[in-house]
Amino acid sequence: MLPMKTALASLEGGPVHWLKIDVEGLEEEVLRGWDSTTLRPWIMVIEATIPMSTELRYEGADRILVDAGYQFAYFDGLNRFYVASKHSDLIAALQTPPNVFDGARLSGLSSSGWCADLVSRHQAERHADAAKLDAIRAELAWTEHNAMTRLEEEKSRTDRATMRAIEAEARATASEAIAHQANDRAIHAEARALLATNTPTRRLATAIAEGRITSGIKRRIKTAIRIAAIGVGRHPTLKRAAVFALSRTPSLRRRLQAMLTPPIAAVAHNSQEKPLSMSPDTALVYRQLRQSQQDTGHA
């Protein structure tokens, strides 16, 4: 235990606004170790009752404080408040007890007296709110976990359905290709069977392959053109129209002339003589074509 002068030596000479002495009935003994010339708090508060009772006992401490130049200002039922003479202007603030006009707010930190119930209720509410918050966080975490799980499952199902659709499409494409190949093989087999049999179809296919159909059609076309040319040459009006038309289309005239000219163009030097290897009708048509060519040249 140290006297007040020694215990508070670090505060000597500096401003001290508030000093509370609560030593369970030993306030007078503590104040006897105080040097009021070096340490002068603005306000000093001492406990004024016998411990754990309402019986007053403060006379010894009161004499020390009054002799040191302090003035009594306020008693709250437990403590007596003294103000230094140098700061007597603070006495007015202590004339009335704490009241609603002070605008005071309870801190909730007191563990005894009339704040105890408030502190207990406040702490219970805080614990309940913390428990509710933890429950809400746990529920949110569980909901998020379930949502993510469902999302992953849905994505997995979608991926599997897509893969099944792709596989089905690939199988359908492969089946279609196989069907086409089988159809092609059937067609080739049928064609080979037709060619293998001695039927008109085979003969027709052989004739087409050897070009006999084309040459036969050409011969028949040439014969028809010769017959038509003979008929035109025997009618003066049609002959003049044909000569006029051929004179306007040299290319057609040359093609007709080439078709009607025999393979061995052994003709006489005189244009009036019949070619050596022509039939009478063909020679007639040939002379008419020659005549139309000469008429065109004179024109």
pLDDT single digits (tens) 101-115: 888 776 666 655 666
pLDDT single digits (tens) 159-202: 888 888 888 988 888 888 898 888 888 887 876 776 666 566 56
**Count of structural domains, the chain:** 3
Dig out the tokens for 109 from the structure: 């930190």
Q: Whole-model pTM?
A: 0.39
Asked if 185 and 220 sit in the same domain, the reply is: no
Specify the range with the lowest mean pLDDT, choosing from 60-64, 176-180, 207-211, 231-235. Answer: 207-211
Asked if 17 and 64 sit in the same domain, the reply is: yes
Asked if 233 and 201 sit in the same domain, the reply is: no
Dihedral over Cα of 158, 162, 167, 169: its sign: positive
Question: Is residue 114 assigned to a domain?
Answer: no
- Give kind and range of the element (H or E) at residue 82: strand 79-84
Question: Is residue 163 assigned to a domain?
Answer: yes
Q: Please count the other Cβ atoms lying within 10 Å of the Cβ belonging to residue 50.
A: 12
Report the residue count for the chain: 299
Question: Is residue 108 assigned to a domain?
Answer: no
Dig out the tokens for 50 from the structure: 């016998």
pLDDT higher than 70, residue 276 = no
Asked if 201 and 219 sit in the same domain, the reply is: no
Dig out the tokens for 188 from the structure: 């080739």
Tokens 């006495």, located at residue: 91
3-state secondary structure 8-73: CHHHCCCCCCEEEECCCCCHHHHHCCCCCCCCCCCEEEEECECCCCCCECCHHHHHHHHHCCEEEE
Asked if 8 and 94 sit in the same domain, the reply is: yes
Residue range(s) defining the domain that contains residue 175:
124-210
Question: Is residue 182 assigned to a domain?
Answer: yes
Q: How far is CA 95 from the centre of its chain?
A: 73
Asked if 196 and 173 sit in the same domain, the reply is: yes
CATH assignment at residue 65: 3.30.110
Question: Is residue 118 assigned to a domain?
Answer: no
Residue 188 CA to residue 129 CA, distance in Å, equals 88
Q: How far is CA 152 from the centre of its chain?
A: 17
